[in-house]
Amino acid sequence: MEENFLNDTFLARWVSGDLSASELEAFKKSRDYHKFKKINEGAQKLKIPEYNKQAGFSKLQQYLEQEKHSKKRGKRISALVYGAAAVLIIAFGLFYFLNLQSHYQTGFGEQLALVLPDNSKVHLNANSQIDFNPKGWNAKKEVELKGEAFFDVEKGDAFKVLTKMGEVEVLGTEFNVITGQNFFEVQCYQGRVKVNSLKTEEEAILIAGEAFRRVNGVIEKWTFTNKKSSWLYGESTFRNTPLSQVIIALENQFNVTFITTKINTKEKFTGVFTHKNLKLALKTVFETMNITYTIKDENKIILVNKDSKNKI
């Protein structure tokens, strides 16, 4: 009966936690349970950048040899244990290799251009990040996005952008995505994209010149005429956008923090600010909103509504 513990199927079920209570109890009472437990714990701790299947297995063999000649234990380890251990090491190595994610991230005021495995191009805006699996790309063309990015997608198989607020399925080529807390916006510049807002289950097909936004549960759609996202050229453009989102964009571009307790961040802003000059950007946004700003400690900016200031 004990030999059954050493087959690949049983070990795979054990590692994944699929054994029944009786099977697990019987395995724990077996002669080699604690050796496999150590092997499994070691495999779980393998780090991707340092992983080397051959080196890992060599170390495992050394450990097993030491166990074999240990006078305290005085037990021989069967060839089946070696084989099963090798299965565990190789299985973990293959799992990590196939699921290794590529991660790209920008800091405040930074932008990054990268090329995906199918030659699609992505431009990350400031303080944004993207993740994808290059090894499994041909089977599933998906990227996970936080922040803002402009995509120029090669025609071919289905391509998806996944965010916590919604998904974008590409039916064409060029589009821009912004995602944040309670904010999800897609603008299509060329071809077609399919938008799925996860929380509301709202779906929309956008063609060139059409936009979709969900903010705090409210859906908005509109059209535009520009051919590219303006942030690619050093300006951020907004159309009837909540001031809270405009402030996030300012923070991302200039690495500053705003104190907003004395303003209404739900007010809507339409306009443009430059990425090249903080004071000019502040003037452009807040003077039109009847809001005063005070720069304190270089990177902290206090905002006050002029009307409330006059009442004080």
Q: What is the pLDDT of residues 110-132, one digit of tens each?
A: 999 999 998 999 999 999 999 99
pTM greater than 0.75: no
Share of the chain above pLDDT 90, in %: 54
User: CA–CA separation, 283 vs 285, rounded Å?
Assistant: 6
pLDDT tops 80 at residue 284: yes
Helix-helix angle 21-28:8-15, to 10 degrees: 110
Cα torsion through 268, 270, 275, 277, rounded to 10? -90
Minimal CA–CA distance to 188: which of 153, 158, 239, 163? Answer: 153
Compute the chain's Rg from CA coordinates.
28
Supply the CATH classification number for the domain 102-230.
2.60.120.1440
Q: How many other CB atoms sit within 10 Å of the CB of residue 214?
A: 21
Residue 232 has pLDDT above 70, yes or no: yes
Amino acid (1-letter code) at residue 259: I
Domain(s) of CATH 3.55.50.30: residues in the chain = 234-311
pLDDT band for position 80 (cuts 50, 70, 90):
low
Higher pLDDT, 61 or 34: 34
Task: Please tell me the least confidently modeled range out of 2-11, 159-168, 302-311.
Answer: 2-11
What pLDDT is attached to residue 78? 55
Contact 160, 143 (CB under 8 A): yes
Question: Out of 3.55.50.30, 3.40.640.10, 3.40.50.1980, 3.20.20.140, which CATH number does the structure's domain 234-311 have?
Answer: 3.55.50.30
Question: Is the CB of residue 68 less than 8 Å from the CB of residue 79?
Answer: no
Average pLDDT over residues 234-254: 97
Q: For residue 311, what pLDDT band results from cuts at 50, 70 and 90?
A: very low
- Rounded distance between C-alpha atoms, residue 170 and residue 264, angstroms: 36
Q: Write the pLDDT tens digit of every residue in 141-175.
A: 999 999 999 999 988 778 999 999 999 999 778 99
**Phi, psi for 136 (deg, rounded to 5):** -105, 20
- Residue type for 36, please? F
Q: What is the mean pLDDT of the chain?
A: 82
What does the alpha-carbon distance between residue 34 and residue 158 come to, in Å, rounded to a whole number? 47
| In the chain, ranges of CATH 2.60.120.1440 domains | 102-230
How is residue 59 written in tokens?
Answer: 């170390």
Rounded mean pLDDT of 69-90? 54
Q: 302 vs 154, 220, 294, CA distance in Å?
A: 44, 30, 5
Strongest mean pLDDT among 22-31, 149-158, 215-224: 215-224
pLDDT at 250: 97
